[in-house]
Amino acid sequence: MAAFAHEHWSSRFAFLMAAIGSAVGLGNIWRFPFIAGENGGGAFILIYLVTTLGIALPIVMAELVIGRMGGQSPIGSMVELVRRHNKSRIWLLIGWGGTLGAFIVLSYYAVIGGWAFKYTWLSLTDSFSGADVEASAGIFAVFTGSPVSLFLWHTFFMGLTILIVIGGVKRGIERAVVTLMPLLFLLLLFMVVYAAGTPGFDQAVTFLFQPDFSKVTSTTFLLAVGQGFFSVSVALGAMMTYGAYLDKSVSIPRSAIIIALADTAVALFAGLAIFPLVFTYALTPGEGPGLVFVTVPVAFGQMASGLFVGTAFFLLLSVAAITSAISLLEPAVSWGEERFGGRRAAALIIGGTCWALGILSVFSFNILSGFYPLAALGLEGDTVFDVFDFTVTSWVQPSVGILMALFAGWALSRDTVKEALGIQKDGALFGFWLFAVRILCPLAILLVFLNAVWPDFAASMLPG
Ligand code: PFF
């Protein structure tokens, strides 16, 4: 079958905005601060930096290079590469696993994305004015307890994602990201500058950057790896798809470093925007998933310009979520396009199916909140939403990540990969990368696996 001719990014800038848009999402602004908050702040952050740059970054490079070499959707690229290089069909798992994983993530990601838009609206209509923690928790409980509200916001978010993806690489995704990403950076800058002027800023800096190693356990390390993978969008085919649309003239290592550093910087800035408010208004930093939707709105409700600052914050969260969501839909849609020719039909059918699957996650917060589908396997207390999240982040991402690293490191020839990366000489950078994808990353990820199935073993292998 002749390869499908996909559109390409019109510039390196457009690609970087799309890739950073994919990486920067709910994972940075919603998940990172509460995970850091629950796990001792600075100590977690230090480990996060090491694991993200040491483990996730080399795999981002592997993923981009596989995409560039295949030139197709993740599924199409793997079929093509396996055929061209005469490799085992087992590698096709990279394409299928990643694409399906991204599809499942999008189904529940859209639900939380919908919350972000709803909260932008609530801020704009001054709904948090004067609210204390109890009142804010009440607003959150009423919203998430309503299947109809959650369903409508989920539908709105998914509809927007599908609309952008229908537009295609240049007129859809690229146009959205080159306007939205600069807006996101501006909003974040505004939030940090605002937070820097509040009395809780110093305390927040200490909390975020002073490592307390007594809090470090083997779990901290494993949590950091998982969060890093999710945050830089690795191992779900998103980067592979975006890499397939990238002109050969752009250097992959340099782009990957920019993407990983930008993603990490946004996570840290999100912490610097949120925690000063938490400390200024004497709220608790370790509130878990409710940090952004319950705790932070209390601060907005107390401050003089809360309407403005709160709206800016939730708009930031919404923009971050939508630019990630399009990258979660694109891998499957680009496959549909190759298979059936029409982007519009592919986006509508695949996006529509994902939307329908997401209804299970909508109900996980209300009518199905007591339904634990995998209770028999020990996941007592985990709703459909939790099971989807757990399955993809703890199983699909690590296994596809290992396969991507091994495929780029061992299955493809060293010279072809070097050329596709855009590296001219055999320097230290290439040497380190090759060592990372061949040995370091697969081993480190294996440890994540072992911790999931056999915690005592993994714990005995790690300090802490
Ligand atoms: N990186 C996104 C976030 O931090 O919210 C989520 C994500 C997008 C993960 C795309 C994986 C992916 F392929």
Q: What span, in angstroms and rounded, lies between the C-alpha atoms of 25 and 236?
A: 15
Report yes or no: 224 and 44 within 8 Å, Cβ to Cβ: yes
**Alpha carbon of 366 to ligand 1 centroid (Å):** 25
Question: pLDDT above 70 covers what percent of the chain?
Answer: 97
* CA distances to 64, 403, 412 from 417, in Å: 11, 16, 7
Q: Is the CB of 329 under 6 A from ligand 1?
A: no
Confirm whether pTM is higher than 0.75.
yes
What is the number of the ligand 1 atom nearest to the C-alpha of 232? 1
Q: What is the pLDDT of residue 16?
A: 98
Question: pLDDT above 90 covers what percent of the chain?
Answer: 82
What is the number of the ligand 1 atom nearest to the C-alpha of 236? 13
Question: Residues 68-106: pLDDT tens digits?
Answer: 999 999 999 999 999 999 999 999 999 999 999 999 999
Choice between 380 and 192, residue whose per-residue pLDDT is larger: 192
**Alpha carbon of 19 to ligand 1 centroid (Å):** 10
Q: What is the pLDDT of residue 461?
A: 63
Task: Please give the average per-residue pLDDT across 321-336, as a whole number.
Answer: 98
Confidence of residue 460 (pLDDT cuts 50, 70, 90): low
Q: What is the pLDDT of residue 351?
A: 98
What is the number of the ligand 1 atom nearest to the C-alpha of 237? 13
> How open is the CA angle 216-26-147, to the nearest 5 degrees?
115
Q: What span, in angstroms and rounded, lies between the C-alpha atoms of 297 and 302?
A: 9
* CA distances to 192, 270, 353, 404 from 101, in Å: 33, 26, 14, 14
Choice between 96 and 448, residue whose per-residue pLDDT is larger: 96
Q: Is the CB of 230 under 6 A from ligand 1?
A: yes
Count of beta carbons in the 10 Å neighbourhood of residue 380: 9
Calculated CA dihedral for residues 417, 400, 3, 347, nearest 10 degrees: -140
DSSP, collapsed to helix, strand or coil, labels residue 130 as: coil
Q: Is the CB of 236 under 6 A from ligand 1?
A: yes
Question: Residues 299-323: pLDDT tens digits?
Answer: 999 999 999 999 999 999 999 999 9
Instruction: Please state whether 41 falls in left (phi above 0), alpha (psi between -120 and 50) or beta.
Output: left
Q: Is the CB of 56 under 6 A from ligand 1?
A: no
With a cut of 80, say whether residue 459 has pLDDT above it. Answer: no
Q: What is the pLDDT of residue 217?
A: 80
Report yes or no: 379 and 80 within 8 Å, Cβ to Cβ: no
Task: Please give the average per-residue pLDDT across 116-145, as a whole number.
Answer: 96
Using alpha carbons, select from 421, 464, 13, 57 the residue that is nearest to residue 231: 57
With a cut of 70, say whether residue 355 has pLDDT above it. Answer: yes
Q: Is the CB of 233 under 6 A from ligand 1?
A: yes
Question: Residues 52-64: pLDDT tens digits?
Answer: 999 999 999 999 9
Report yes or no: 76 and 70 within 8 Å, Cβ to Cβ: yes
Report yes or no: 447 and 458 within 8 Å, Cβ to Cβ: yes
Q: Which CATH architecture is the domain 12-461 placed in?
A: Up-down Bundle (1.20)
Given ligand 1 and candidates 73, 231, 240, 316, which is best to mutate, with the most ligand atoms within 8 Å of its CB? 231
With a cut of 70, say whether residue 457 has pLDDT above it. Answer: no
With a cut of 90, say whether residue 452 has pLDDT above it. Answer: no
Q: What span, in angstroms and rounded, lies between the C-alpha atoms of 81 and 92?
A: 9
Q: What span, in angstroms and rounded, lies between the C-alpha atoms of 340 and 336?
A: 6
With a cut of 80, say whether residue 3 has pLDDT above it. Answer: yes
Task: Please give the average per-residue pLDDT across 422-435, as a whole number.
Answer: 89
Q: What is the 3-state secondary structure (H, E, C) of 6-35?
A: CCCCCCHHHHHHHHHHHHCCHHHHHHHHHH
Question: Residues 227-261: pLDDT tens digits?
Answer: 999 999 999 999 999 999 999 999 999 999 999 99
424 phi and psi angles, rounded to 5 deg: -85, -45
Report yes or no: 296 and 278 within 8 Å, Cβ to Cβ: yes
Please report, for the chain, the start and end positions of each structural domain, with discontinuous segments joined by +. 12-461
With a cut of 90, say whether residue 464 has pLDDT above it. Answer: no
The upper half-sphere exposure of residue 424, i.e. CA atoms within 13 Å in the direction of its Cβ, equals 2
Q: Which tokens go with 444? A: 């480190």
Q: What is the pLDDT of residue 110?
A: 98
Q: What span, in angstroms and rounded, lies between the C-alpha atoms of 139 and 34?
A: 20
Q: What is the pLDDT of residue 19?
A: 98
Confidence of residue 210 (pLDDT cuts 50, 70, 90): confident
Q: What span, in angstroms and rounded, lies between the C-alpha atoms of 122 and 87?
A: 54
Q: Give the largest Cα separation in the chain, rounded.
A: 66
Task: Please give the average per-residue pLDDT across 175-195, as a whole number.
Answer: 97
